[in-house]
């Protein structure tokens, strides 16, 4: 809208810039809520950050998710009376242009805690303050910020359980009400850009997620009403739709963490004791996300280094052949292969399986966790640097972890959590006719059965590329040697 309120002198009111980033919604959006209270025009701004886009290895599916969310955000802002303004370029340059064009009253934005974002935001704040323009930032992506959950000595937690206990003792912020209507001045803006326009090829054939606030809330309502009470049992079963599948929506801010936690609190009051355990287990997963945000915030060097420095001496190895077999789902370990094929096909992987495939790469193949983390960054639509880094270092035993040596046995994990092989068969088509008795170790099938079920090992499906027992023993030996130095 072009109609702007005017000051008594007849001059137009200076607008507030509301800078959207990983918060693509209008519901319970802290910066937008507070800006709209000022009763001046607002300029909702989203910048396609050329520096970040060039550095991100993400598959184009994630950028299309973002584009879907931006389309809906524009519609939601229009209902409030405003217009989404999109620009394309270096963030600092775009903000300088905005300052020159609009002479804004202030910049409002929600804080981001990852290393790149913190450096970027500090530079942008400096640009505005040098122009004598106020800057206001808000907590929005987490319920409790890294500096709010600290030990009695003011240090960050590096063990999850004490962090979670401290987190739970805090008073959780409640969702905000709907923002007040506002107007947006006429501002030139670029067109909305998806994967193709941004030069990001799409390899993911069947994306797991649809972007936008409406879809996030639809999924959340369904999960709350039908699934959360069984979450503790179903969350580890990859063949069952037992998780919220809201990780991408949280990553792009299509749903508010405050609203999710508040809804969980309300659900607890009407749940049975058994159901309460499931709800609390789900909240624990939200806390894990904030724990990893806190860890990376306080130790930003972890994006490229081990938390446990003794692992700098780990003799990681690298084989292009083995790494590609893992990456493409051709290891001969069905659960590992199903997980990697799910990732390649959908841009998402079940969390239980993520732990298994990460343990396999680092403990069985003894490949550096950084190789795996980088691979996940190319595919995961829900990629958050903090969670990806924390999860991989946890799997590799190099990170913040009170029990540093965990080695997952892919066969035992498969037998326990996918007993009939339903998940495996969904993604490893070569094994669809293999009976449950052999689905977890198809190479153990007698040759006559291999022919009968159309799955000849070495021809239709690979033999295991590593001996798990021998690889585990070798990793334990190296781990003990490193710890004893």
Which of 369, 388, 409, 430 is catalytic? The answer is: 369
Residues in the chain: 485
SS3 12: strand
Active site residue 316: yes
* 466 close to 323: Cβ distance less than 8 angstroms: no
Task: Exactly one of 310, 316, 415, 474 is catalytic; name it.
Answer: 316
Q: In DSSP terms, which residues pair with 16 in a beta bridge?
A: 42, 106
362-372 burial string, b = 16+ CB within 10 Å, else e? bbbbbbbbbbb
Tokens of 165: 């206990």
**CA angle at 230 for the pair 226 and 235, rounded to the nearest 5°:** 110
Find the catalytic residue in 145, 148, 197, 285. 285
Specify whether the CB–CB gap between 29 and 172 falls below 8 A. Answer: no
Which entry of 392, 394, 409, 430 is annotated as an active-site residue?
392
Measuring CA to CA, which residue among 481, 445, 475, 476 is closest to residue 460? 445
Q: Which of 19, 167, 220, 288 is catalytic?
A: 288
> Among candidates 191, 213, 240, 197, which has minimal Cα distance to 86?
191
Q: Is 392 noted as a catalytic residue in this protein?
A: yes
DSSP states along 119-151: HHHHHHHHHHHHTT-EEEEE--SSSS-GGGSB-
440 neighbors 411 (Cβ within 8 angstroms): yes
Active site residue 348: no
Q: Which of 108, 111, 103, 102 is nearest to 37 (CA)?
A: 108
Spatial contact of 407 and 396, defined as CB atoms under 8 Å apart: no
Annotated catalytic residue, options 351, 377, 415, 474? 351
Q: Given CA atoms 427, 433, 439, 445 in this order, what sign does their dihedral have? A: negative
d(C-alpha 363, C-alpha 317), whole Å: 11
Q: What is the H or E stretch that residue 429 is in?
A: none
Confirm whether 220 is a catalytic residue: no
Helix (H, G, I), strand (E, B) or coil at 272: coil
**Residue whose C-alpha is closest to residue 102's, from 201, 36, 16:** 16
The torsion angles phi and psi of 139, rounded to 5 degrees, stand at -80, 130
User: Tokens in use for 252?
Assistant: 């792009």
Residue 43 phi, psi (nearest 5): -115, 95
Known catalytic residues are 285, 288, 316, 351, 369, 392
């Amino acid at each position: 809208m072009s109609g702007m309120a005017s000051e008594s002198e007849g001059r137009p009111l200076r607008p507030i810039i509301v800078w959207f980033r990983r918060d693509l919604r209008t519901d319970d959006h802290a910066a937008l809520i507070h800006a709209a209270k000022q009763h001046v025009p607002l300029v909702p701004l989203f910048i396609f950050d050329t520096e970040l886009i060039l550095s991100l290895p993400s598959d184009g599916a994630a950028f299309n998710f973002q584009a879907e969310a931006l389309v809906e955000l524009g519609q939601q802002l229009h209902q409030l009376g405003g217009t989404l303004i999109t620009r394309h370029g270096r963030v600092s340059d775009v903000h300088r242009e905005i300052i020159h064009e609009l002479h804004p009253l202030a910049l409002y934005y929600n804080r981001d805690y990852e290393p790149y974002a913190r450096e970027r935001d500090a530079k942008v704040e400096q640009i505005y303050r040098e122009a004598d323009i106020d800057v206001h930032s808000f907590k929005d992506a987490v319920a409790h910020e890294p500096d709010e959950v600290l030990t009695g000595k003011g240090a960050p937690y590096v063990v999850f359980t004490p962090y979670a206990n401290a987190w739970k003792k805090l008073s959780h912020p409640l969702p905000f009400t709907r923002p007040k209507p506002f107007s947006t001045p006429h501002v030139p803006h670029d067109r909305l850009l998806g994967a193709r326009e941004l030069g990001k090829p799409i390899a993911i054939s069947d994306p797991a997620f649809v972007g936008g606030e409406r879809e996030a809330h639809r999924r959340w309502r369904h999960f709350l009403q039908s699934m959360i009470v069984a979450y503790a049992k179903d969350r580890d079963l990859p063949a069952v739709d037992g998780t919220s599948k809201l990780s991408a929506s949280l990553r792009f801010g299509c749903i508010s963490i405050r609203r999710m936690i508040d809804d969980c609190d309300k659900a607890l009051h009407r749940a049975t004791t058994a159901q309460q355990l499931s709800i609390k287990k789900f909240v624990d997963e939200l806390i894990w996300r904030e724990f990893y945000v806190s860890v990376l915030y306080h130790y930003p060097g972890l994006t490229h280094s081990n938390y446990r420095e003794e692992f700098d001496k780990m003799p990681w190895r690298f084989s292009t052949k083995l790494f590609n077999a893992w990456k493409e789902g051709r290891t001969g370990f069905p659960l590992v292969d199903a997980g990697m094929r799910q990732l390649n096909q959908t841009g998402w992987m079940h969390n239980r399986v993520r732990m298994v495939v990460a343990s396999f790469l680092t403990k069985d193949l003894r490949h550096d966790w950084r190789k795996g983390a980088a691979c996940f960054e190319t595919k995961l639509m829900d990629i958050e640097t903090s969670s990806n880094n924390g999860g991989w270092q946890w799997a590799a035993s190099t990170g913040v972890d009170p029990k540093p040596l965990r080695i997952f046995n892919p066969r035992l994990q498969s037998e326990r959590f996918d007993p009939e092989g339903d998940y495996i068969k969904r993604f490893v088509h070569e094994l669809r006719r293999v009976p449950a008795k052999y689905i977890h170790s198809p190479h153990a099938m007698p040759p006559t059965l291999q022919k009968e079920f159309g799955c000849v090992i070495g021809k239709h499906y690979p033999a295991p590329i590593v001996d798990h027992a021998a690889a585990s023993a070798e990793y334990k030996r190296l781990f003990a040697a490193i710890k004893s130095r």
